[in-house]
Structure 1
Amino acid sequence: MLSREAARERLTLMFWRPKGHVDIKDGTPESLSAFPEKAVEQQANADAMDTSPDEQSEGQQHFRPSFRFACVMLVLWLLTLLVAIDSTAISTALLSIASHLDATTVQTEWIANAYMVTAGAFQFLFSSLSDIYGRKPLIIAAFMFLLVGTIMCGVSQNIETLLAGRTIQGIGAAGTLVIPEVLVADLIPLRLRGVYYAILAGSWAVGGGVGPIIGGAFAETVTWRWIFYLNLPICGVSLAITPFALKLKKVHADRSFMEKFKMIDIGGNILFLGSSTSLMLGLSLGGISYPWGDARSIVPIVVGGAGLVSTVLYEIHVASQPMINMKVFSTWGAIAAQVQNVLQGIVVMAWLYFLPMYFQGIKLYNPLITGLAQIPVAVVLSIAALLAGVVIRWSGHYLFVQWISLVLASVGMGLYILLNLDTTVAEWIFLAVAPGIGLGMLYSSSAQSAMAPINPSLWTDAAAVMSFARSLGEAFGVAVGGAIFASQMKHHLSKIDNVQVDPTKVIQVVEYIQQLPEGDIRHQLQNALLKTIRTLMLVMMIFCIVGLSLCVFMKEYSIDIAHEVQQGIDEDRTDESED
Structure 2
Amino acid sequence: MSSLDSSIVSTALPRISSDFKSDNEYTWVLTAYFLGDMAFEPIADIFGRKQVLMFVLTLFIISSALCGAAQSIQSLIVFRGFQGIGGGGFFSMVIVIIADIVPLRKRGIYMGITSAVSTCASVLGPLVGGLLTDYLTWRWAFFINFPLCFIAGIIIYFQLNMPPKYIGSSFTQKLKKIDFLGTFLLVGSIVSILLTLTWGGVDYEWGSKEILTLIVTFSVCFSSFIYVEYKVAKDPIIPLQMFKTRNVIVTCFINFFFGMSAMTVTNTLPLLFHDGRGISATFSGLMLAPQSITSSLGNILTGYLIGKYGYIQRYMMAGTCVVIVGNFLLSKIGMVTPIPFIIFVVILLGLKLGLNTHSCVLITQQSVQKKCM
Same fold by TM-score, threshold 0.5 exceeded?
A: yes
> What amino acid is the match of 1:110?
W
Q: CA deviation at 1:433?
A: 3.2
Change (3 A) 1:286 1:382: farther
CA contact (8 A) 1:213 1:372 kept: yes
Q: In structure 2, which of residues 108, 112, 118 is the aligned counterpart of residue 204 of structure 1?
A: 118
Q: CA deviation at 1:270?
A: 2.9
> What amino acid is the match of 1:349?
M
Q: In structure 2, which of residues 186, 193, 196 is the aligned counterpart of residue 272 of structure 1?
A: 186
Note the 1:147-546 alignment, pairs <5 A.
147-286=61-200, 289-290=203-204, 292-360=206-274, 363-416=277-330, 419=333, 423-458=337-372, 460=373
Give the Cα–Cα distance (whole angstroms) in 2 for the partners of residues 165 and 420 of structure 1: 34
Give the Cα–Cα distance (whole angstroms) in 1 for the partners of residues 128 and 205 of structure 2: 32
> What amino acid is the match of 1:194?
G
- Is 1:110 the counterpart of 2:24 in the alignment? no
> What amino acid is the match of 1:84?
S
> What amino acid is the match of 2:8?
A
Which secondary structure state, in structure 1, belongs to the residue aligned with residue 11 of structure 2?
Answer: helix
Kindly indicate which of the two structures has a greater share of residues assigned to helix. 2
Change (3 A) 1:423 1:160: closer
RMSD: 2.5
| 1:64-96 deviation digits (Å, cap 9, x = unpaired) | xxxxxxxxxxxxxxxxxx122222221222232
* Residue equivalent to 1:91: 10
> What amino acid is the match of 2:2?
V
Change (3 A) 1:294 1:374: farther
Q: CA deviation at 1:244?
A: 0.8
Give the Cα–Cα distance (whole angstroms) in 2 for the partners of residues 154 and 172 of structure 1: 16
Which secondary structure state, in structure 1, belongs to the residue aligned with residue 120 of structure 2?
Answer: helix
CA contact (8 A) 1:381 1:439 kept: yes
| 1:129-148 deviation digits (Å, cap 9, x = unpaired) | 11111111111111111111
| 1:274-294 deviation digits (Å, cap 9, x = unpaired) | 323333343444456545554
CA contact (8 A) 2:41 2:92 kept: yes
Change (3 A) 1:451 1:159: closer
Which secondary structure state, in structure 1, belongs to the residue aligned with residue 367 of structure 2?
Answer: coil
Moved more, 148-157 or 448-457: 448-457
Note the 1:6-85 alignment, pairs <5 A.
82-85=1-4
Q: CA deviation at 1:363?
A: 5.0
CA contact (8 A) 1:392 1:398 kept: yes
Which secondary structure state, in structure 2, belongs to the residue aligned with residue 238 of structure 1?
Answer: helix
Q: CA deviation at 1:373?
A: 0.4
Q: CA deviation at 1:376?
A: 0.5
CA contact (8 A) 1:398 1:445 kept: yes
| 1:516-562 deviation digits (Å, cap 9, x = unpaired) | xxxxxxxxxxxxxxxxxxxxxxxxxxxxxxxxxxxxxxxxxxxxxxx
Q: CA deviation at 1:158?
A: 3.5
Give the Cα–Cα distance (whole angstroms) in 2 for the partners of residues 186 and 285 of structure 1: 41
Which secondary structure state, in structure 1, belongs to the residue aligned with residue 5 of structure 2?
Answer: helix
> What amino acid is the match of 1:409?
V
Q: CA deviation at 1:406?
A: 0.8
> What amino acid is the match of 2:177?
M
Give the Cα–Cα distance (whole angstroms) in 1 for the partners of residues 107 and 210 of structure 2: 42
Give the Cα–Cα distance (whole angstroms) in 1 for the partners of residues 120 and 255 of structure 2: 20
Give the Cα–Cα distance (whole angstroms) in 2 for the partners of residues 318 and 157 of structure 1: 42
Change (3 A) 1:114 1:357: closer
Which secondary structure state, in structure 2, belongs to the residue aligned with residue 105 of structure 1?
Answer: coil
* Residue equivalent to 1:34: none
> What amino acid is the match of 1:248?
M
| 1:279-316 deviation digits (Å, cap 9, x = unpaired) | 33434444565455544345334422442232122222
CA contact (8 A) 2:126 2:266 kept: no
Q: CA deviation at 1:175?
A: 1.0
CA contact (8 A) 1:209 1:372 kept: no
Give the Cα–Cα distance (whole angstroms) in 2 for the partners of residues 305 and 177 of structure 1: 29
Moved more, 353-362 or 263-272: 353-362
Q: CA deviation at 1:160?
A: 4.1
CA contact (8 A) 1:218 1:224 kept: yes
CA contact (8 A) 2:182 2:229 kept: yes
* Residue equivalent to 1:140: 54
Q: CA deviation at 1:374?
A: 0.4
Change (3 A) 1:374 1:193: same
Q: CA deviation at 1:423?
A: 4.8
- Structure 1: segments with no counterpart, 5+ residues: 1-81, 461-579
- Structure 2: segments with no counterpart, 5+ residues: none
Give the Cα–Cα distance (whole angstroms) in 2 for the partners of residues 297 and 245 of structure 1: 49
Give the Cα–Cα distance (whole angstroms) in 2 for the partners of residues 154 and 129 of structure 1: 29
Change (3 A) 1:158 1:352: closer
